[in-house]
C-alpha cells in the first residue's frame, strides 16, 4: 500500500492510454476547464414601452402590442383601496340616510353622485399620473395604486362628511372626546 503521509494528489496513479478508447466527441462550445451548464438561452424578445424623448409619447409600434386586457389588469392593481373607501362611504351614508327617517330617493341620488365623482377623480388621477409620471419623468406605470389611493381618500372624506351631518353621531363624538 502507498505511504499515507503523502498528499492525495501525489497518490494518484496515471493510467496509460488504451488502444481503441478515444476521447468522446465534444460539443461545439466545449472549452477545457469551463463547465457546460445547460443550453444557451435565446435572448428575450419582449420589449417594454419606452417613452419617446422628442415628442414625449409612446412609440407607435409599442402601443399596438398592448391589448386592452393589459390595461384593464393594470387598472385593477390597487383596487382594494378604492373598495375599502367605497365600503366606508357606503356604511357612513347608510347611517346618515337611515337617521334622516325620510324618503331614501334623494340620499341615494347623493350617494350615486358621490361615487360618480370618485370615478371621475380616479380617471383624473390616472391622467395626471400619465402626464407627470410617464411623459415628464419618463417612467412606466405598472399599476393604478396611486389613483386608487387618491380615490379612497376622497371616499373616506365623503363618509366623514355624511357622519358630520348626522346629529346623534356628532353628539356621541363630542361626548367621547369631551368637546
pLDDT digits (tens, 9 = 90+) for 91-130: 999 999 888 877 888 889 999 999 999 999 999 998 888 8
Mean pLDDT of the region 2-19: 64
CA distance 110 to 108: 5
Residues in the chain, total = 179
Mean pLDDT of the region 132-139: 80
CA distance 23 to 14: 16
Cell of 72: 384593464
Output the pLDDT for position 42: 63
* pLDDT class of 55 with cuts at 50, 70, 90: very low
C-alpha distance across the termini of the chain, in Å: 98
Q: 48 pLDDT exceeds 70?
A: no
Strand ranges, E, within the chain? none
Output the pLDDT for position 56: 47
Amino acid at each position: 500500500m502507498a505511504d499515507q503521509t503523502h498528499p492525495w494528489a501525489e497518490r494518484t496513479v496515471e493510467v496509460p492510454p488504451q488502444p481503441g478508447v478515444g476521447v468522446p466527441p465534444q460539443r461545439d462550445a466545449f472549452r477545457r476547464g469551463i463547465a457546460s451548464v445547460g443550453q444557451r438561452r435565446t435572448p428575450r424578445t419582449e420589449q417594454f414601452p419606452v417613452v419617446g424623448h422628442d415628442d414625449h409619447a409612446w412609440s407607435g409600434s409599442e402601443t399596438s402590442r398592448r391589448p386592452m386586457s393589459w390595461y384593464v389588469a393594470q387598472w385593477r392593481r390597487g383596487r382594494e383601496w378604492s373598495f375599502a373607501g367605497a365600503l366606508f362611504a357606503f356604511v357612513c351614508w347608510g347611517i346618515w340616510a337611515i337617521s334622516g327617517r325620510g324618503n331614501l330617493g334623494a340620499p341615494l341620488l347623493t350617494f350615486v353622485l358621490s361615487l360618480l365623482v370618485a370615478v371621475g377623480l380616479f380617471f383624473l388621477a390616472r391622467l395626471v399620473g400619465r402626464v407627470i409620471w410617464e411623459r415628464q419623468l419618463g417612467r412606466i406605470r405598472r399599476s393604478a395604486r396611486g389613483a386608487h389611493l387618491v380615490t379612497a381618500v376622497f371616499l373616506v372624506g365623503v363618509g366623514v362628511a355624511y357622519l358630520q351631518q348626522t346629529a346623534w353621531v356628532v353628539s356621541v363624538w363630542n361626548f367621547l372626546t369631551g368637546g
